[in-house]
A and B are shown apart, each in its own frame.
Chain A
Amino acid sequence: MSIDTQRERSPERELDTSLDAMPVIRGQLPRWSPWVGLVAVVLIVGGVLSATGLSIGLFAVVSAVVYAVGMYTASRVVEGPRKATDRLVTIIVTAAFLVALIPLVSVVYTVVSEGLSRFDAEFFNSSMLGIVGEGGGAYHAVMGTLIITGLAAAMSIPVGLLTAIYLVEYGKGRLARAITFFVDVMTGIPSIVAGLFAFALFALFFGPGVRMGFAGAVALSVLMVPVVVRSTEEMLKIVPNELREASFALGVPKWRTILKVVLPTSVAGIATGVTLAIARVMGETAPLLVTVGLATGMNLNPFDGRMATLPVFAYYSYVSPGVPREPSLERAWTAALVLIMIVMALNLLARLISRVFAPKTR
Chain B
Amino acid sequence: MAKSIDVANLDIYYGSFLAVHDVTMTIKPQTVTALIGPSGCGKSTFLRSINRMHEVIPGARVEGRIELDGLNLYGPGVDPVAVRRQIGMVFQRPNPFPTMSIYDNVIAGMRLNNKKMKKAALDDLVERSLRGANLWNEVKDRLEKPGSGLSGGQQQRLCIARAIAVQPDVLLMDEPCSALDPISTLAIEDLINELKNDYTIVIVTHNMQQAARVSDFTGFFNIEGTGKPGKLVEMDDTKTIFSQPAQQATEDYVSGRFG
What residues make up the interface of A, taking CB atoms closer than 8 Å to B?
172, 240, 242-253, 256-257, 260-261, 264-265, 359-362
Please list 18 pairs of residues, one from A and one from B, whose beta carbons are closer than 8 Å in the complex, sorted by A's number.
A172-B58, A240-B95, A243-B95, A244-B56, A246-B95, A246-B97, A248-B53, A249-B88, A250-B84, A250-B163, A251-B85, A251-B86, A252-B81, A257-B112, A261-B112, A265-B99, A360-B148, A361-B146
The answer on a CB contact under 8 Å between A250 and B162 is yes
CB-CB under 8 A from B98, the residues of chain A are 243, 265, 359, 361
The answer on a CB contact under 8 Å between A249 and B84 is yes
Q: A247-B112, A248-B56, A361-B149 are in contact. Are A253 and B95 (CB under 8 A)?
A: no
A172 to B56, CA, bound (A): 13
A68 to B166, CA, bound (A): 66
Q: How many residues of chain B are within 8 Å of chain A by beta carbon?
A: 33
Question: Quick check: is B51 within 8 A (CB to CB) of the other chain?
Answer: yes
The 4 nearest A-B residue pairs measured at CB: A251-B85, A359-B98, A249-B89, A251-B84
> Which residue on A lies nearest to B146, using beta carbons?
A360
Question: Quick check: is B91 within 8 A (CB to CB) of the other chain?
Answer: yes
CB-CB under 8 A from A246, the residues of chain B are 91, 95-97, 159, 162
The answer on a CB contact under 8 Å between A260 and B91 is no
The answer on a CB contact under 8 Å between A256 and B113 is yes
Selected contact of A250 from candidates B58, B88, B145, B148, CB within 8 Å: B88
A168 to B159, CA, bound (A): 26
Tell me the smallest distance from the CB of B150 to a CB of chain A, in Å: 9
What residues make up the interface of B, taking CB atoms closer than 8 Å to A?
51, 53, 56, 58, 81-86, 88-89, 91, 93, 95-99, 108-109, 111-114, 145-146, 148-149, 159, 162-163, 166
The answer on a CB contact under 8 Å between B146 and A359 is yes
CB-CB under 8 A from A250, the residues of chain B are 84-85, 88, 108-109, 112-113, 162-163, 166
Report which residue of A249, A260, A362 has the largest number of chain B beta carbons within 10 angstroms of its beta carbon. Answer: A249
The answer on a CB contact under 8 Å between B89 and A260 is no
Q: A256-B113, A360-B146, A362-B149 are in contact. Are A248 and B95 (CB under 8 A)?
A: no
Besides the contacts A249-B89, A250-B162, A250-B163, what 15 more A-B pairs have beta carbons closer than 8 Å? Answer: A240-B95, A245-B56, A245-B95, A246-B91, A246-B95, A246-B96, A246-B159, A246-B162, A248-B56, A251-B82, A252-B81, A260-B111, A261-B99, A265-B97, A361-B146
A257 to B56, CA, bound (A): 13
The answer on a CB contact under 8 Å between B109 and A251 is yes
> Which residue on B lies nearest to A256, using beta carbons?
B112
The answer on a CB contact under 8 Å between A362 and B95 is no
A83 to B176, CA, bound (A): 46
A247 to B95, CA, bound (A): 10
Tell me the smallest distance from the CB of B111 to a CB of chain A, in Å: 8
